[in-house]
């Protein structure tokens, strides 16, 4: 029996490796060079790719002459030439929902850290400025309004967490599940912009594409309520980072939680990196023990399901494009 060859651009949780290793019809190869040149050399004869953050542009994927599936260890696919694969009829799979709860918890952590200025309070204690404790006033979550832009896998988990803190929750999405919103007791809108002046917190959870690039720019930031806290755990390009830095400098935005950047890692001198009113993470919102294990297992299983002809539609990132082309 001819084996299917799977290339892993990076190692994943052992649980994912175990799923592939259990099959005697699968050969797994770990890439030792994820540069464009290294991957181009490794891809001929590969039937499936498991990818975390390695870049897979069209020029690289063109070398994968036997490719049947690309499986992303996560949900964002901006590192993959999706249109190229769609044109070839190749599904791009995602670990749908594997890390959603982890990112929702990460968002809550950033919100509370900024609302209570825990970074500043920690510095005050370490620097012996105990007398400054009276200068710190927490921004309450209770009775505050949060606008969640993107009511998908993460937004749907974040909403009830915010409700548990007594927050008024507004969710915005161009494809709303109004029944779920009603069940969760949250207000649902299709256009987020009219809600900006009323929100104490704005949290972003949308994919990055040409319709969402700089979704939050100078105009949207100016429309926000003075003292707002902005959280971006989506993709860096969703926010105009210089405009956000300017809004922080002016004091219009009280604080910003940023897990993602338009260029990763951010360049030296990035306006948000050393800003005193930011809480930052290195694109790590999905990196909990449970989330990494679940994502690895889904990444591996999606590859096998495509080989076996039983891949679930909800796991296919480019499903609409594949259906239009068929």
State how far the Cα of 200 lies from the Cα of 292, in Å rounded to an integer: 32
Cis peptide before 265, with omega less than 30 degrees from 0?
yes
Return the biggest CA–CA distance within the chain: 74
Phi-psi region of 232 (alpha: psi -120 to 50; beta: other; left: phi over 0): beta
Quickly count: other Cβ atoms within 10 Å of residue 309's Cβ. Answer: 6
Q: What is the dihedral of CA 225, 226, 227, 228, to 10 degrees?
A: 30
Query: Which residue reads 């994968």 in tokens?
Result: 64
* Helix residue spans in the chain (DSSP H): 14-21, 36-42, 58-61, 82-87, 100-115, 118-126, 153-164, 178-184, 218-223, 241-250, 289-308, 319-325
∠ CA 209-214-217, rounded to 5°: 160
State how far the Cα of 10 lies from the Cα of 17, in Å rounded to an integer: 11
CB 248 within 8 A of CB 221: no
Structure tokens at 41: 């050399």
Structure tokens at 71: 């499986």
Structure tokens at 262: 């338009």
CB 284 within 8 A of CB 61: no
Q: Which residues are catalytic?
A: 235, 264, 283
Sort 325 into a burial class: Cβ within 10 Å, 0-12 / 13-18 / 19+: exposed
């Amino acid at each position: 029996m001819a084996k299917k060859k799977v290339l892993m651009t990076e190692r994943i949780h052992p649980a994912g490796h175990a799923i592939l290793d259990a099959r005697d019809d699968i050969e797994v190869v770990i890439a030792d060079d994820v540069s464009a040149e290294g991957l181009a050399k490794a891809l001929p004869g590969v039937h499936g790719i498991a990818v975390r953050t390695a870049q897979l542009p069209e020029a690289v994927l063109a070398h994968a002459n036997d490719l049947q599936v690309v499986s992303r260890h996560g949900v964002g696919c901006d590192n993959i030439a999706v249109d190229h694969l769609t044109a070839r009829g190749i599904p791009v799979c995602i670990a749908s929902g594997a890390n959603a709860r982890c990112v929702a918890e990460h968002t809550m952590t950033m919100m509370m850290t900024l609302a209570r200025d825990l970074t500043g309070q920690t510095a005050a204690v370490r620097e012996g400025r105990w007398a400054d404790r009276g200068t710190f006033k927490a921004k309450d979550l209770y009775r505050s309004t949060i606008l969640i832009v993107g009511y998908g896998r993460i937004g749907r988990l974040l909403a009830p967490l915010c409700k548990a803190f007594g927050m008024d929750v507004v969710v915005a999405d161009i494809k709303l599940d109004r029944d779920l919103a009603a069940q969760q007791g949250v207000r649902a809108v299709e256009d987020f912009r009219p809600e900006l002046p009323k929100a104490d917190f704005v949290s972003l959870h949308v994919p990055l594409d040409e319709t969402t690039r700089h979704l939050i720019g100078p105009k949207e930031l100016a429309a926000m309520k003075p003292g707002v806290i902005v959280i971006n755990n989506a993709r860096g390009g969703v926010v105009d980072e210089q405009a956000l830095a300017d809004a922080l400098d002016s004091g219009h935005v009280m604080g910003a939680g940023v897990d993602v950047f338009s260029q990763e890692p951010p360049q030296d001198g990035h306006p948000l990196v050393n800003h005193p009113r930011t809480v930052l993470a290195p694109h790590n919102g999905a990196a909990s023990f449970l989330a990494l294990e679940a994502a690895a297992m889904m990444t591996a299983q999606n590859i096998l399901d495509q080989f076996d002809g039983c891949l679930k539609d909800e796991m296919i990132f480019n499903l609409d494009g594949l259906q239009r082309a068929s």
